[in-house]
Amino acid sequence: MKIIDVRTTVVGTSWRELTFVELITDEGLVGLGEARMVNKTDTLVACIGELARRYAVGSDPFDVELLAWRVQWEDYGRAGEVTMTALAALDMACWDLMGQALDQPVWRLLGGRFRDKVPAYANGWYRGPRDATTYAALAGAVTERGYRALKIDPFGSASSDLSSAEEARSVEIITAVREAVGSDVSIMVEMHGRFSAATAIRVAQRMEALRPEWIEEPVPPYNPSTLRRVRHATSIPIATGERVHAIADFRELIESGLVDVIQADLSHFGGFTGLRNLAGWAAVYDLQLAPHNVCGPVGTAANIHFAVATANFKVLEHFNDFADPWLSELVDEAPKVTADGFFDIPTRPGLGLQLDSDACANHPRTHAHFNLHRDGWEMRAGGPVTGA
């Protein structure tokens, strides 16, 4: 079996654009991949086309290690965010083709069934005025939907520092959410990597009594020494890694004990081939993975397959029940969170879904732009203003 062509489709929402990749083979099989590229969709589409023509078309989709090596080494330059995202979409589609060719779900090829269901946590649910009363009511709706975990960024458009009033407001929001959902529901606090160490420490210490599941990217991801200060100043677990795209860049985070939960994104980390290597390394240090996931149905399905087969997987992020629920229409069988907050195990060959080109055409590109420092992460009536 050989790959003979590549096709890309971009679907737009009010706050994100999703890029779908289809690899077409000489045997008539079509493999699917997906990525959400923040603010660089044009660049991603161009990169996918260039890399596919150079390394994927004419190749055997089973040769994923070779594809990953060629993309990262034959081009000589260091593989960054766009390259690794393009590779991830191609790799995802190759694994889908392998599963279809062997008539097996991808999770069987990744190591088989480790768990019987995949825990999910909700994101994209907090829309409306940024106040404690509104967020508490919305959090209650999340748990009524069945989720036993949810994530929230209560900090608006704050950058670097928080005023005393904004700090109090943010803590008040988390307090109200905790009271609304009770002690048995996990709350993940998103900081989006935008605070100084002093601010992150101060906020974390005020939230410790609320027992967050983790604080996420409390400081910018490129400065481990700053993260080390936060690490030593709070007992709350630290999650990070969504903006780390190469395995070597996790070295200091892992070996210096700066992270409790690794959040590398399957669609930005070279796909299954890259993330399974990272999972093995993390296991040596008894670390869990909670992959960052802002994808639609295809990327979410890929994450579910990874989770089924990965022993040190923790929980999967999911936006699509609250932000853009119509995304389920883009495929023939979208992943769904059950009434008890889990994804069921896929049973169809490959990733188990097909793209509906007509449904995609109904949602053309929006050229949505994410600006956290200008808009914050708030949901309004027409959809999110922005988000990551």
Task: Give the pLDDT band (50/70/90) at residue 32.
Answer: very high
| Pairing, β 214-216 against β 186-190 | parallel
Architecture of domain 3-103: 2-Layer Sandwich (3.30)
Task: Average the pLDDT over each of 81-90, 348-357, 375-384 and give the range with the smallest value.
Answer: 375-384
Checking if the pLDDT of 370 tops 90, the result is no
Q: Tell me what pLDDT residue 376 has.
A: 65
Q: Is 49 buried (19+), middle (13-18) or exposed (0-12) by CB count in 10 A? A: middle
Report pLDDT digits (tens) over 120-172: 999 999 988 899 999 999 999 999 999 999 999 999 888 889 999 999 999 99
Across residues 322-343, what is the average pLDDT?
Answer: 96
DSSP state letter for 187: E
The model carries a pTM of 0.95
Q: Tell me what pLDDT residue 160 has.
A: 86
Q: Is 43 buried (19+), middle (13-18) or exposed (0-12) by CB count in 10 A? A: middle
HSE (CB half, 13 Å, CA atoms) of 356? 14
Report pLDDT digits (tens) over 230-255: 999 999 999 999 999 999 999 999 99
Q: Is 209 buried (19+), middle (13-18) or exposed (0-12) by CB count in 10 A? A: exposed
Task: Give the pLDDT band (50/70/90) at residue 377.
Answer: low
Across residues 97-112, what is the average pLDDT?
Answer: 98
Task: Look up the CATH number of domain 108-354.
Answer: 3.20.20.120
Checking if the pLDDT of 381 tops 70, the result is no
- Catalytic residue numbers read 192, 292
Q: Give percent above pLDDT 90 in the chain.
A: 91
Report how far apart, in Å, the C-alpha atoms of 366 and of each of 93, 126, 363 are.
Answer: 25, 22, 8
Task: Average the pLDDT over each of 6-10, 147-151, 377-381 and give the range with the smallest value.
Answer: 377-381
Domain ranges of the chain: 3-103, 108-354
